[in-house]
Amino acid sequence: MLSVLANRTYRHLFAAQVVALIGTGLLTVALGLLAYRLAKAEAGAVLGTALAIKMVAYVLVAPVANAFTGQLPRRAFLVTTDLVRAAVALILPFVDQIWQVYVLVFVLQSCSAAFTPTFQATIPDILPEERDYTRALSLSRLAYDLENLLSPALAAILLTVINFHWLFGGTVVGFLCSAALVVSVGLPSPKPTERRGIYERTTRGLRIYLATPRLRGLLALNLAVSAAGSMVIVNTVVIVQAILHRPQNDVAVALGLFGGGSMVAALLLPRVLDRLPDRTVMLPAAALLGVVLLAFAATTWGGVIGWPMLLATWLVLGIGYSAAQTPTGRLLRRSATTEDRPAVFAAQFALSHVAWLVTYPLAGWLGAEAGMPVTLAVLGVLTLAAIAAAAVLWPASDPDVVEHAHADLGPDHPHLDGAAARRHAHAFVIDDLHQRWPAHRPG
């Protein structure tokens, strides 16, 4: 897996991702403490609103930002968003009003919504070989999991010697280091083949996404993954402290098991994906999430949730979560031209966060009103229903090269290259010449 780090450009970008994630992790802890300083007992409501603002920014800003990123040098754009995020983190310690927190969080997360899809779409341009790109995706998954494990621990250590305001300084350093690492390498910046209007550029990724069968299946998979992930992220603290009456440290232990399972899957996936197609890996992994949620609901119905059972369940959920989510970049890469790839990554970023915007409050509301067994059962059923939809929307036969006809093109059109009856075959993606997916032809 580490062989891809021999590529200098990727190595610098991966390092940029790691330091930015560490900074973001410190920011998460610092924001919680800032919210408590400003709102005391209402800090939970402040953080909940900030999380909602984050999701709204992700959903609305990513496609709009992509409409302009194709017109700008990619490296300059990434560096600018890092610098703006660093500036926001620098201002946050000095705010004294809750509304100021909301405004700054929206600005910061809007920059993240612009940065992340652009960054993700850059990696397949740097690592064009699918084998290398698969390993880069697993490394990226490991980076996210390590951030979830290490950033809270680092914050806890730092808070023993500094005030929480200085954690924002760590965030600033993280974003500045990320910007410096991006500046240190040259990045490819694919340009659109023709000029398009703002509306066309804003919606192009969504239209390509929704016209591609495998990506419609991925849309359903997003819902399945977010349903299971929301159960863990939203309700772990409730189960551990309110139901099991265990100390705060055990919240970190439970979340650490989930992250550990995700890391195990990320380490194993490159070899698995070398042998098996994405659909064969992703659908069963996501189905595992639903089955495990329902099994845990059954064991806790009318009884007591056991600590060892919780840890084992969260570990398995982490494995399924990573296996279902990590190959996503491979699907996006093979479903768009180089020029359209950033738009499709932006569409995935926005649509996946729509799913989280639905499942986060659902997991929280059900947990508070109906109890954990019901919450586990409902989210388990929702996960399996989403998997069933994905299996229908994403055909089992999903070749890259698809035979199709061009009744709308003249026989001398360069794209046909002399094909008889205007029918030919090539790696098929939705673009200006291919605006609908061809109907399946048996045999």
At the topology level, CATH places domain 1-191 in Growth Hormone; Chain: A; (1.20.1250)
- The tokens describing 165, both together, are 């305001």
Residue-level pLDDT at 287 = 97
Bridge partner list, 402: 426
pLDDT of 82-106, one tens digit each?
999 999 999 999 998 989 989 999 9
Q: What pLDDT shows up at residue 443?
A: 43
- Tens-digit pLDDT profile for residues 182-224: 999 988 866 555 677 777 888 888 999 999 999 999 999 999 9
Q: Could you give the CA distance from residue 233 to residue 321 in angstroms, rounded to a whole number?
A: 12
Domain residue extents for the chain: 1-191, 204-398
The per-residue pLDDT for range 224-238, each reduced to its tens digit, is: 999 999 898 888 878
The pLDDT score that the predictor gives to residue 191 is 58
Using left for φ > 0, alpha for ψ between -120 and 50, and beta otherwise, residue 302 falls in: left
Listed range (8-17, 162-171, 241-250) with the worst mean pLDDT: 241-250
Q: Tens of pLDDT along 113-153? A: 889 888 888 898 899 898 898 888 888 888 877 776 677 66
pLDDT on residue 252: 73
Tokens encoding 135: 């390993």
Structure tokens at 20: 């930015």
Pick the more confident residue, 403 or 390.
390
Axis crossing angle, helix 198-211 with helix 43-69, rounded to the nearest 10: 100
What value does the mean pLDDT take over residues 411-427?
77
Rounded Cα gap, residues 47 and 98, in angstroms: 10
Range among 285-294, 328-337, 434-443 with highest mean pLDDT value: 285-294
- Same fold: 1-191 with 204-398: yes
**So what's the pLDDT on residue 194?**
63
Residues 259, 148 contacting (CB under 8 angstroms): yes
Task: Yes or no: say if 286 and 328 are a contact pair by the CB < 8 Å rule.
Answer: no
What distances in angstroms separate CA 96 from CA 46, 104, 111, one per listed residue? 13, 12, 23
User: Tell me: the pLDDT tens digits for 27-81?
Assistant: 877 887 787 788 876 665 676 677 778 888 888 888 888 777 767 788 999 999 9
Share of the chain above pLDDT 70, in %: 92
Q: What is the mean pLDDT of the chain?
A: 86
The answer, yes or no, to whether residue 437 has pLDDT greater than 60, is yes
Residues β-bridged to residue 424: 404
Q: What is the pLDDT of residues 367-402, one digit of tens each?
A: 888 888 999 999 999 999 999 999 999 999 888 888
Q: Considering only 157-166, 271-280, 291-300, which range has the smallest mean pLDDT? A: 157-166
CB 87 within 8 A of CB 111: no
CA dihedral sign, ordered 238, 241, 244, 249 = positive
**CATH superfamily of the domain spanning 204-398:** MFS general substrate transporter like domains (1.20.1250.20)
Question: Position 26: which residue type?
Answer: L
For residue 401, list its beta bridge partners: 427
Q: What local confidence, expressed as pLDDT, does residue 442 receive?
A: 47
